[in-house]
Structure 1
């Protein structure tokens, strides 16, 4: 029997137990039957942040951003492209710090965009500033 990992569904937030060997086989949520990976970052809120960061067994890369931020807008397509390349071994997520100020304050986000990489609910790396898709992928791979 292969090792399994827990993946939080981006659609309904149900926790799914998936054999690690089957992560690349486009697994679907056992509750809502939607794909667990869609090559798009997950939009997080205060209500969903802790569940996604602490209950996913794969690393979670969070883009702390705001809609008024020019560099955030410029980096958004690169972040989405990185999601297509890094999934299913890394979950990419976005948190709007304008709407979710409590989480931004909790993690002492002082500049945006800021990328924070979480593993097992703990922040393991942080990188402020806009990055290209290649730089995002390279940075993540050096930390996982």
Structure 2
């Protein structure tokens, strides 16, 4: 991609707070884009806790890949992986967004995505589920797995 086409390319990101779909120049991604409605950060390298409706909307509409961690508070491996997931989110800040979905609070998500074990990582890109992984991973493994599946 040439510098001119990068500057003219538009990215779309769904605000994980209010649900607004935001469009902005791809060249501005590193500047920390904010939602045009509520002002929250759109790609700040933090993990957002969301529900099924937000997950489906972002997975369907976003230009950046979206990695969802389906977990539960009672799950030991899920709790152990949480800081690793957050670390990977910071590392991949400009390449993917990271979200968590509590399967106890949103049991419909476990049914919708046929989750049989947690933690379950679902990687969405270009409106489709690209890959999934069951079981805990370290930050370096998550980062490598995402890079392998989006490059």
5 Å-filtered alignment, 1:59-98, equals 59-98=65-104
- Would you say how many aligned residue pairs link Structure 1 and Structure 2? 144
Structure 1 position 143 matched with structure 2 position 110: no
Supply the RMSD in Å over aligned alpha carbons.
1.1
Q: Between Structure 1 and Structure 2, which shows a larger proportion of helix residues?
A: 2
Q: Deviations over 1:89-125 (max 9, x none)?
A: 2010111111111111111100000111011221111
Task: Report runs of 4+ in structure 1 exceeding 6 Å deviation.
Answer: none
TM-score (norm 2): 0.90
Structure 1 residues without counterparts, runs of 5 or longer: none
Q: Deviations over 1:60-113 (max 9, x none)?
A: 000010000000000000101111111122010111111111111111100000
TM-score (norm 1): 0.95
Name the residue aligned to 2:11: 5
